[in-house]
Amino acid sequence: MDFANLASQLNAGTILPEGIVIVTLLGVLIVDLILGRTSSRWIGYLAIAGLLAAVVALYFQWDNANPISFTGGFTGDDLSIVFRGIIALSAVVTILMSIRYIEQSGTALAEFIAILLTATLGGMFLSGASELVMIFISLESLSISSYLLTGYTKRDPRSNEAALKYLLIGAASTAVFLYGVSLLYGLSGGQTELSAIADGIITAKVSQSLGLVISLVFIIAGIGFKISAAPFHQWTPDVYEGAPTPVIAFLSVGSKAAGFALAIRLLTTVFPMVADEWRFVFTALAILSMILGNVVALAQTSMKRMLAYSSIAQAGFVMIGLIAGTEAGYASMVFYLLVYLFMNLCGFTCVILFSLRTGTDQIAEYSGLYQKDPLLTLGLSISLLSLGGIPPLAGFFGKIYLFWAGWQAGLYGLVLLGLVTSVVSIYYYIRVVKMMVVKEPQEMSDVVRNYPEVRWNLPGYRPLQVGLVVSLIATTISGILSNPLFTLANNSIAHTQILQATITKVSTVPLEEPEKL
Amino acid sequence: MLSVLIWAPIIASVIIGFWPNNAIQPNRLRLVSLTLSGLILLWNLFILFKFDLTNPGMQFQEYLPWNETLGLSYQLGVDGLSILMLILNSLLTWIAIYSSSKDTERPRLFYSMILLVSGGVAGAFLAENLLLFFLFYELELIPFYLLISIWGGEKRAYAGIKFLIYTAVSGALILATFLGMVWLTGSTSFAFDAVSTQTLSAGLQLLLLAGIILGFGIKIPLVPFHTWLPDAYVEASAPIAILLGGVLAKLGTYGLLRFGMGMFPNAWSTVAPTLAIWGAISAIYGAVVAIAQKDIKRMVAYSSIGHMGYVLLASAASTSLALVGAVSQMFSHGIILAILFHLVGVVEAKAGTRELDKLNGLMSPIRGIPLISALLVLSGMASAGIPGLTGFIAEFIVFQGSFSVFPIPTILCVVASGLTAVYFVILLNRTCFGRLDNDLAYYPKVLWSEKVPALILAVLIIFLGVQPTWLVRWSETTTTAMVAAITPAEKTVISQVALK
């Protein structure tokens, strides 16, 4: 193999965005080593600049004519680009949030950012990974960094407990996932590349065998853990409550998006023969997640726990698009995850701001907040209402598209359940709004009564404010001005080879030809 | 042209909500919103005078592509069914703002929410796209929740949540039905004219129609789904109750007419007899329960259930006369309920109670509140269907139009109308007549500004009562066209069934 051939086989340009992230990561580490603590004032911005540069690089890779790189180990198609973008953006906002939070907890910011960037890297590689070993490695680098992040505030016993719990469950589920993956390797006659596995399974004539089903179930257990689908959700509430809040923000968007990216790529490429089976399993997971997430969230008193159950429920909604398996179904998933990025991060920014100023995140303590901090009240209200799917916010359009795609694919029961549980969800989201907005001044909680004066010029508050305002605006208008996002989501599906081959043509109605970006 | 009705209030609401100066006087804000809603009302009247009475279809249409993937387009239009509702909306918004207290707490949020609601309701009446309608329909949810639970009475938190949940369920049902209608008929767009349910099997049509009826039935409200109404109406402050009863309930009946009858002409005839009986039961139930109430606001709230029953009867009958009656009844119920709630609000503010057992002799010319009482008598009579007032005209057209199709439910509704007179006589007797309690009756003076909205509404009620053409002429061509769409063959079947 001569060099030119090898270079074209490697096609290393596709991982340029990840390359930028790696350079940034190393830069952060080295700067920290050289300058020590003094660097912490601007090191966050360095990381943000790196991540944004990665997003720009992703933009230039859109519609890459030759996405397959590293001899099939990585695919830089549009689907992966969208998910890599979501993960990178969620890391950007997470860093904006964490600059103050981590400083206040008395731990080193640069180390935190380095681990966060590693997790981002893992997630970004996972979105495009199309080879078993590559998938496993990026999954592990995402997971291990997540354990570290969860236990980062190591003097807090709750954080330690959460990290231990996350580690034990995570490691176990990764082991189960690994077992499923190794079965695939065996069943397909020694193939590790996803499309080759599909062919190998057909050649080996095991396409309805018990082995394939077992490996499917094991793999779903690993994926379900990442997207926190019930019944693989048990870590979520405890980890969300114990871990530092910026980490939760990242786990709820970045890590979840990575899980969904993995789900789409793995399930559609490797398991087209048992598509009915995995749809069935995911239907069960979606039903469980929607019911459990929404109903149990009703009974929560802690804001972070409530958002944990809400994120389980939201995963249930997103799974509707996955089960539909149509072009519109996948596109609606992508669209929902995009708007979920805005609304969840906006919500978490407000939770962080509140806990930075008052030191608590109990729902009851929010009462009467509108008088002391109108911006926080507005941000949290808008993001929660958007999560509940109230028009004309982003979440409404996201849910409508999911339900519309689900209905088109004939999933009447799931969509109806989604509608019913949405009504339930409005109740617990509005409870927080009620606490903040409706309560009279005399019903103010003690914490709010002693609320410190709102000042944005303290160190580390300005990035929080920027993150809040940007995500708030995005949550408000990305529903009304949703056309570019819709086009993006639709194109990312329409231009992706692996999906086009496997999309079930349930849809009898031709979708509108999406415009070129 | 129509967009102004939606966007002027919404943009104003955003501006008012974000107005930076916290020290701004409530009074100043009230004046600003009042002027603005007055201008919108004038604009609406201008549209009314430009309205072409001979055209049964949509007028002043506007179209902008929005989200092709979802089949959602920004498509507006007004026809005979919606024009009066639009006027009602902007009129009552103006009155609600006018009758709001000059030193409302948290005025920015208050006026911002009222204007938001006003724009949203206008949007729902104007929308020519199912999804757009739903968007505006759901837009009411949160502002009204806040309006009830911040500025309401004692049990406002409970009432607010109850309203929220009922309305959210109604929204979910409607959305599910809309998705079903569009997808099952194989349409790619949610535009009204793109959706035609004729091709569906009878069973599916009935199923979808049931979704529509249940969804909007919660909002109207029909009898088993009405339990949010007394709480929400009673706990809301007077201006909010005016908007809730006057405008929001009309969204329900409008939706029933537009989407139930308009889009399921075949299945409609099948369910019509049930609906007629349901309407009659609603009317009787509302009247009987109102008789038993001890609180004047609760009485008025239950009267609303009864009056919406007539609309249901008329829409079930679906003769062209009955439909004109339905639209007229919607409008006149809107203004009558508004004046009643306004007067009850004034009585409560002056006398300090709403209990029938404690109020007495308000008619007394010197120490009572005579003008308010007189207006209360007038509006009670209007609500009970006394000739010369608009309530009579609307009810009479309803009964006249429905009798030929559903004689027995119509007679039941006439009985209910009689019962309405009963409880209004009880109400007037206990409040306006009798002697003032010498120890308690030191009522504050009723200011002119408090009388104005009631006087305007009273003039309107009398004017439309003696000159009913101005009430019915707007909707005649549209309703005739709607009736014509319901196939003649089916109609004869119904009338035979009904005669048996």
What's the longest Cα–Cα distance across chain B? Answer: 72
pLDDT category of residue A227 using cuts at 50, 70 and 90: very high
The whole-angstrom distance between residue B91's C-alpha and the CA centroid of its chain comes to: 12
Please list the alpha-helical segments (H only) found in B22-155.
26-50, 80-98, 107-126, 130-139, 141-150
State the Cα–Cα distance between residues B233 and B241, nearest whole angstrom.
5
Instruction: Read off the pLDDT of residues A401-452 as tens digits, 9 standing for 90 and up.
Output: 999 999 989 999 999 999 999 999 999 999 999 999 998 888 888 888 899 9
State the Cα–Cα distance between residues A106 and A360, nearest whole angstrom.
17
CA distance A509 to chain B (A): 7
Digit-by-digit pLDDT tens for chain B (500 residues) are 889 999 999 999 999 888 776 667 778 888 889 999 999 999 999 999 999 888 888 889 999 998 888 889 999 999 989 999 999 999 999 999 998 887 778 888 999 999 999 999 999 999 999 999 999 999 999 999 999 999 988 899 999 999 999 999 999 999 999 999 888 888 878 888 887 777 788 889 999 999 999 999 999 888 889 999 999 999 999 999 999 988 988 999 999 999 998 888 888 888 999 999 999 999 999 999 999 999 999 999 999 999 999 999 999 998 889 999 999 999 999 999 999 999 999 998 888 888 888 888 888 888 888 899 999 999 999 999 899 999 999 999 999 999 999 999 999 999 999 999 999 999 999 888 888 877 777 788 888 888 898 999 999 999 999 999 998 999 989 888 888 887 554 544 444 444 44
Contact call for A328 and B172, based on CB within 8 A: no
Residues of chain B in contact with residue A400, where contact means CB-CB under 8 angstroms, are: 70, 131, 175
Measured distance between the N- and C-terminal CA atoms of chain A, rounded to whole angstroms: 38
Residues of chain A in contact with residue B164, where contact means CB-CB under 8 angstroms, are: 426-427, 430
Q: What is the ipTM for the molecules in this complex?
A: 0.91
State the Cα–Cα distance between residues A393 and A70, nearest whole angstrom.
41
* Beta-bridge partners for B62: B76
- Residue from A252, A425, A467 nearest A344 by CA: A252
Can you give the C-alpha Rg of chain A in angstroms?
22
In the structure encoding, which two tokens stand for residue B389, read together?
Answer: 């007032």
Other C-beta atoms within 10 Å of B145: how many? Answer: 26
In the structure encoding, which two tokens stand for residue A274, read together?
Answer: 């048992």
Cα–Cα–Cα angle for B136, A433, A369, rounded to 5 degrees: 135
Instruction: Read off the pLDDT of residues A37-66 as tens digits, 9 standing for 90 and up.
Output: 788 888 899 999 999 999 999 999 888 777
Residues of chain B in contact with residue A331, where contact means CB-CB under 8 angstroms, are: 69
pLDDT of A67 reads 82
**How many CA atoms does the CB half-sphere of B31 hold within 13 Å?**
4
Element (H, E) at A75: strand A74-75
- Residue from A297, A456, A443 nearest A365 by CA: A443
pLDDT of B22 reads 65
Which residues, numbered 334 to 373 in chain A, qualify as contacts with chain B under a Cβ-Cβ cut-off of 8 Å? Answer: none
Contact call for B168 and A401, based on CB within 8 A: no
Contact call for B68 and A512, based on CB within 8 A: yes
Is residue B251 within 8 Å of residue B137, measured between CB atoms?
A: yes
State the Cα–Cα distance between residues B145 and A438, nearest whole angstrom.
10
Contact call for A396 and B138, based on CB within 8 A: yes
Question: Taking all residues of chain A, what is their mean pLDDT, rounded to a whole number?
Answer: 90
* Most B CBs within 10 Å, among A430, A433, A488, to test the B interface: A430
Is residue A227 within 8 Å of residue A256, measured between CB atoms?
A: yes
pLDDT of B18 reads 83
Contact call for A385 and B131, based on CB within 8 A: no
A22 residue type, one letter: I
- Three-state DSSP at A110 gives helix
Other C-beta atoms within 10 Å of B445: how many? Answer: 8
Size of interface A-B (CB pairs under 8 A): 87
Shortest CA distance from B190: residue in chain A: A404
Cα–Cα–Cα angle for B472, B478, B482, rounded to 5 degrees: 125
The answer to whether residue A232 neighbours chain B at the CB level (below 8 Å) is no
Instruction: Read off the pLDDT of residues A320-341 as tens digits, 9 standing for 90 and up.
Output: 999 998 999 999 999 999 999 9
State the Cα–Cα distance between residues A6 and A8, nearest whole angstrom.
5
From the list B69, B139, B149, the residue facing A486 with the nearest CB is: B69
pLDDT of B487 reads 57
Higher pLDDT, A499 or A461: A461
Residues of chain A in contact with residue B70, where contact means CB-CB under 8 angstroms, are: 397, 400-401, 404, 486
* C-alpha separations of B328 from A440, B83, B250, B456, B470 in Å: 41, 11, 11, 18, 10
Is residue B475 within 8 Å of residue B383, measured between CB atoms?
A: no
The answer to whether residue A430 neighbours chain B at the CB level (below 8 Å) is yes
* C-alpha separations of A68 from A17, A80, A126, A198, B429 in Å: 15, 11, 14, 17, 86
Residues whose CB is less than 8 angstroms from the CB of residue B110 and which lie 6 or more positions away in sequence, other chains included = B100, B104, B147, B150, B151
In the structure encoding, which two tokens stand for residue A196, read together?
Answer: 């080759």
Residues of chain B in contact with residue A473, where contact means CB-CB under 8 angstroms, are: none
CA distance B196 to chain A (A): 16
**pLDDT(A275) > 60:** yes
pLDDT of A126 reads 95
pTM comes to 0.92
Shortest CA distance from B169: residue in chain A: A423
Produce one character per residue of A474-497: b if its CB has 16 or more CB atoms within 10 Å, e if not: bbbebbbebeebbbbbbbbbbbbe
Please list the alpha-helical segments (H only) found in A151-229.
157-187, 194-203, 210-226
State the Cα–Cα distance between residues A148 and A225, nearest whole angstrom.
17
The answer to whether residue A419 neighbours chain B at the CB level (below 8 Å) is yes
pLDDT of A381 reads 96
pLDDT of A393 reads 94
Residues of chain B in contact with residue A418, where contact means CB-CB under 8 angstroms, are: none
CA distance A378 to chain B (A): 10
pLDDT of B484 reads 85
Is residue B233 within 8 Å of residue B245, measured between CB atoms?
A: yes
pLDDT of A1 reads 55
**β A74-75/B59-67 pair status:** unpaired
Residue % of chain A over a pLDDT of 90: 67
Is residue A80 within 8 Å of residue A261, measured between CB atoms?
A: yes
State the Cα–Cα distance between residues A431 and A393, nearest whole angstrom.
18
Is residue B174 within 8 Å of residue B210, measured between CB atoms?
A: no
Residues of chain B in contact with residue A423, where contact means CB-CB under 8 angstroms, are: 165, 168-169, 171-172
The answer to whether residue A328 neighbours chain B at the CB level (below 8 Å) is yes
pLDDT of A508 reads 41
CA distance A252 to chain B (A): 26
- Residue from A417, A489, A492, A422 nearest B70 by CA: A489
In the structure encoding, which two tokens stand for residue A329, read together?
Answer: 């179904």
* Most A CBs within 10 Å, among B7, B64, B70, to test the A interface: B70
The answer to whether residue A298 neighbours chain B at the CB level (below 8 Å) is no
* Most A CBs within 10 Å, among B156, B179, B189, B199, to test the A interface: B179
State the Cα–Cα distance between residues B369 and B343, nearest whole angstrom.
11
**How many CA atoms does the CB half-sphere of B255 hold within 13 Å?**
37
In the structure encoding, which two tokens stand for residue A181, read together?
Answer: 């993956």
Element (H, E) at B73: strand B72-78
In the structure encoding, which two tokens stand for residue B169, read together?
Answer: 């369920």
- Three-state DSSP at B59 gives strand
The answer to whether residue A511 neighbours chain B at the CB level (below 8 Å) is yes
Q: Tell me how many helices (H) and strands (E) chain A has.
A: 23, 2
**pLDDT(A517) > 80:** no
Produce one character per residue of B329-340: b if its CB has 16 or more CB atoms within 10 Å, e if not: bbbbbbbbbbbb
- Residue from A21, A22, A45 nearest A109 by CA: A45
Mean pLDDT, residues A23-48: 88
Element (H, E) at B75: strand B72-78
* C-alpha separations of B186 from A408, B190, B209, B258, B307 in Å: 9, 11, 17, 20, 38
Is residue A126 within 8 Å of residue A187, measured between CB atoms?
A: no
**pLDDT(A496) > 70:** yes
Residues of chain A in contact with residue B69, where contact means CB-CB under 8 angstroms, are: 328, 331, 401, 486, 490, 511-512, 514
Q: Taking an 8 Å Cβ-Cβ cutoff, which residues of chain B contact chain A?
A: 66-70, 109, 131, 134-136, 138-139, 141-142, 145-146, 149-150, 157, 160-161, 164-165, 168-169, 171-172, 175-176, 179-180, 183, 186, 188
What's the longest Cα–Cα distance across chain A? Answer: 79
Residues of chain B in contact with residue A416, where contact means CB-CB under 8 angstroms, are: 176
Is residue B344 within 8 Å of residue B351, measured between CB atoms?
A: no
The answer to whether residue A483 neighbours chain B at the CB level (below 8 Å) is yes
Q: Phi and psi dihedrals of A87, rounded to 5?
A: -65, -45
- Three-state DSSP at B76 gives strand
Residues of chain A in contact with residue B112, where contact means CB-CB under 8 angstroms, are: none
Element (H, E) at A32: helix A16-35
3-state secondary structure B369-431: CHHHHHHHHHHHHHHHCCCCCHHHHHHHHHHHHHHCCCHHHHHHHHHHHHHHHHHHHHHHHHH
Peptide bond into B265 cis (omega under 30): no
CA distance B69 to chain A (A): 6
The answer to whether residue A434 neighbours chain B at the CB level (below 8 Å) is yes
pLDDT category of residue A276 using cuts at 50, 70 and 90: confident
pLDDT of B23 reads 64
pLDDT of B21 reads 66
